[in-house]
Structure 1
Amino acid sequence: MLSTDFKKVHKDLYGARTEPALVDVPPLRFLAVDGAGDPDGPVWRAAVEALYGVSYFARFALKNAGVVEYPVMPLQGLWWVDGGWDITERDRADWRWTMMIMQPPQVTADLVAQGIATTAKKKPSAAVDRLELREYAEGPSAQILHIGPYAAERPTIERLLAYVAEQGRQVCGRHHEIYLSNPSRTAPEKLKTIIRYPVTPPPA
């Protein structure tokens, strides 16, 4: 049986450092749930519950079938507000988001449908009715590793934006966070989060 750690397969995307860098993000497949409002609220929690429920169902189904064994990938979030990507100066109630978890190519639409049905029975509060399997392509992007509380991200974001400007580029997509730490098991000052922005091509 194939055994794969997709964080190592895509180590340039999941091995960000505390210095900003450019990366080229290929099209990848995700389980995703769209929503709006405070990420501490019940709507957000129901979305994340659905993502993990179906992701773990798919993982164990593929492992038990002898197809592939792999760790479930980190939770990720796309964040924006009406009028732009910069959420830091806006009330959390105005935030819009897509929460998502990357999936290996062996995860099919039929397998997702089975996972949705199973998760709906086990976790009635999970937002499986809003879950989709979709492809997301960012292309050229700039990213940086933030270490510390989510609420203290602004200086790290400013460093990343300064780097983007130095490269003669501009942000052209949504604020993207990849959560490498479990906040229920990690002290706030030790949380590791990749912050990424799609950027325009270099000037001609």
Structure 2
Amino acid sequence: MTDFKREIATYKAREGRFDVVTVAPLRFLMLDGEGDPNTAVGYRESLETLYPVAYKLKFFSKKELGRDFTVMPLEGLWWADDPAAFTSRRDKSLWRWTLLLMMPDWISAEHFDGARAAVAAKAPRVDALRLETFDEGRCVQTLHVGPYDDEGPVLAEMHERVIPDAGLAMTGKHHEIYLSDARRTAPAKLRTILRQPVREA
């Protein structure tokens, strides 16, 4: 069984260290939405769509293609008109997001369409789901250990000190990779990669 978390270097990060990395183009299941992830119906329905399709593709790949893989951690692209909505004010009602699950490059558009059709009856946002390649490129990333709501100071340090001091400027959307299952992990032990695309200033 292929576990891409072990094979792709950019799915590893260290707490207290900000690394500049180049993220290779990868394929993802994607769903867009907006609002507080704790209360927005669209967020819950997105999860109820992403995972059934992902597991349908996993089992199809194992049975029909002879290639098994571990379903990857949930990821999210986050943005707002006011960046302070993430760092200082943490006003989740203003957040917009794209939820992502990485897929192997051997999963084709035809495979995706078949999986989507197979779970359509129980996947509430299946019509909005897409399979796309995401080329993120150069990024700064670190590992945050602890509750999601404690990310603010780490993001402020990344945005206001680390990136400018490296002669870089932010571009693209804030990216989080949820290495822990929040349903089974104490908030103090949650492990989340925080990533920000950058360019030369």
Q: TM-score, normalised by structure 2?
A: 0.92
2:36 counterpart letter in structure 1: D
- The superposition leaves residues 88-136 of structure 1 with CA deviations (integer Å, 9 ceiling, x where unpaired) of 4353222110001010011111111111122222x25x31111000111
**Match in the other structure for 1:20:** 18
Measured on the aligned residues, the alpha-carbon RMSD in Å equals 1.6
Amino acid in the other structure paired with 2:166: Q
Distance in 2 of aligned mates of 1:189 and 1:30 = 29
CA deviation after TM superposition for structure 1 residue 32, in Å: 0.1
Counterpart contact for 1:51–1:101, Cα < 8 Å: yes
Mapped to 2, the partners of 1:129 and 1:87 lie a distance apart of 29
**In structure 2, what is the equivalent of residue 33 of structure 1?**
31
Give per-residue Cα distances to partners, 1:11-54, cap 9 Å, x unaligned. Answer: x2111111110100111110000111111221101111111111
Unpaired stretches in structure 2, ≥5 consecutive residues: none
Once the two structures are superposed, what CA deviation does each residue of 1:164-186 show, in whole Å capped at 9, x if it has no partner?
A: 12211111111100000000100
Q: How does 1:64-103 map to 2 (within 5 A)?
A: 64-82=63-81, 87-88=86-87, 89=89, 91-103=91-103
Q: Deviations over 1:67-92 (max 9, x none)?
A: 31110011000000125585343532
Which amino acid counterpart does residue 13 of structure 2 have in structure 1? Answer: A
User: Take 1:180 and 1:112, find their aligned partners in 2: how far apart are those partners?
Assistant: 24
Contact 2:78–2:98 (CA under 8 A) maintained in structure 1: yes
Percent identity over paired residues? 42
Distance in 1, Cα, partners of 2:180 & 2:44? 17
In the alignment, the residues of structure 2 paired with residue 128 and residue 151 of structure 1 have an alpha-carbon distance, to the nearest angstrom, of 30
CA distance in 2, matches of 1:26, 1:83: 28
SS at match of 1:68: coil
Q: Say whether 1:157 aligns with 2:155.
A: yes
Q: Residue 147 of structure 1 aligns with which residue?
A: 145
**Residues 154, 31 of structure 1: alpha-carbon distance in 2 compared, 3 angstrom cutoff:** same
Query: Take 1:66 and 1:193, find their aligned partners in 2: how far apart are those partners?
Result: 32
Q: Which residue is 2:180 aligned to?
A: 181
Structure-1-length-normalised TM-score: 0.91
Task: Name the residue aligned to 1:111.
Answer: 111
Structure 1, gaps ≥5 residues long:
none
Alignment of 1:164-203 (within 5 A): 164-201=163-200
